[in-house]
Amino acid sequence: MTDRVDPIRYRDAGVDLRAAESLTKRLAALVEGTRTADVGSDFGSFGGRFRLPGATELVASADGVGTKVLVAVRAGVHDTIGEDLVNHCVNDILAEGAEPLFFLDYFACGALEPEVAYAVIEGVARGCRANGLALLGGETAEMPGLYGVGEYDLAGFIVGRRVFDLPGRSGVAEGDRLVALPSSGLHTNGYSLARRILFDHMGLAPGDALPDLGAETVAEALLRVHVSYLAPLRGVLEQGRVRALAHITGGGIPGNLVRVLPSDLDAIVDPESWEPPRLFRLLAEESRLEAGDLYETLNMGVGMIAVVSADQERAVLADPGVRGAGGFPCGEIRPGTGRVRLEPAG
């Protein structure tokens, strides 16, 4: 499609992952300085755990959908972005062993367009119903001067109750297996890069068909709803068959799977155990990025990775929820130094 030689990197699209990592490390001391005896999670976990008097432990998380909002605005499709937000937050606290209880949203805009706001919150409500949690409240803020005409942003806040026996990092052991669950697409990360490639570099419009993707348009491919893994994983989590979960969001597989690794073990991920969907291969071809950069920026077709013991792998893969979601083996845990390594098997 192009004779471009220089790769299109995520930082060229305005997102510097290294700067974000540096800031996160600096923030750790600030956050840890507020820690109380009832906090049960470490800084950098997928969700924050807080123990109430008695045995109840709450898990909370806050997130947004990034510049996927700009794709929704450009395409004029606003009724799915809220569902993305809810599912993303559900997955984050699921990785900490929690089922959701309630959700709050924050919708900010320059000038309120009631039909747009209604469509966005309609998606939030649909996501809440599908995941069995209450939309407890929220905030709608008009801020002319901060947001332009037609612009808006969206954030969500979720609270759940820890009900699944999910050891996390402390339970991961040498010889454990990795089971991947496919994503529906980009989910809610990597959109600054995708927009730079598809809209700016390739000159496509939201209604244009994507090359080699049949009748699917750019907007349809980019706005596929972020998958919730609560239902597919509930069975194996209730049975205690999973040791840790990694929600594959910003930072890709390397940046998220590392969050459940002990310092003396490595996760060996076989990138040949699945074929990334055509959208990811198109972005790879047009960006000319090396594999390492791609896997650190995009989920490459994997939305969640479960760490399971070797004797549980077959049962997990045979579980109706995991099987129905398309789960497949993608690697194993070996001695190391707390790194994620992309290495073909054999």
Cβ-Cβ contacts under 8 Å for 135 (sequence gap 6 or more):
102, 103, 104, 105, 124, 125, 128
Confidence (pTM)? 0.86
Q: Does the structural domain 169-342 have CATH classification 3.30.70.1070? A: no
Q: Residue 199: what pLDDT?
A: 94
Cβ-Cβ contacts under 8 Å for 108 (sequence gap 6 or more):
140, 141, 142, 143, 146, 147, 152, 153, 154
- CATH number for region 36-163: 3.30.1330.10
Report the alpha-carbon angle 169-245-9, nearest 5: 100
302 HSE (CA, 13 A, CB side): 34
Cβ-Cβ contacts under 8 Å for 277 (sequence gap 6 or more):
185, 301
Q: Residue 98: what pLDDT?
A: 96
Q: Edge-to-edge strands of the sheet including 328-335?
A: 244-247, 302-308, 177-182, 328-335, 265-269, 340-342
Tokens standing for 323?
A: 């099987």
The whole-angstrom separation of Cα 340 and Cα 256 is 9
Q: Judge residue 23's burial from the number of C-beta atoms within 10 Å of its C-beta, 0-12 exposed, 13-18 middle, 19 or more buried.
A: exposed
Q: Residue 83: what pLDDT?
A: 96
Helix (H) or strand (E) holding 246: strand 244-247
Tokens standing for 286?
A: 């047009």
Domains 36-163 and 169-342 are alike in CATH topology: no
pLDDT tens per residue across all 346 residues of the chain: 555 546 655 555 444 556 556 656 666 666 676 566 777 767 666 666 677 777 789 999 999 999 999 999 999 999 999 999 999 999 999 999 999 998 889 999 988 888 998 999 999 989 999 999 988 888 888 888 999 989 999 999 999 999 999 999 999 999 999 999 999 999 999 999 999 999 999 999 999 998 877 778 999 999 999 999 999 999 999 999 999 999 999 899 999 999 999 999 999 999 999 999 999 999 999 988 888 889 999 999 999 999 999 999 999 999 999 999 999 999 999 999 999 999 998 6
- One-letter amino acid of 24: T
Cβ-Cβ contacts under 8 Å for 231 (sequence gap 6 or more):
321
Domain ranges of the chain: 36-163, 169-342
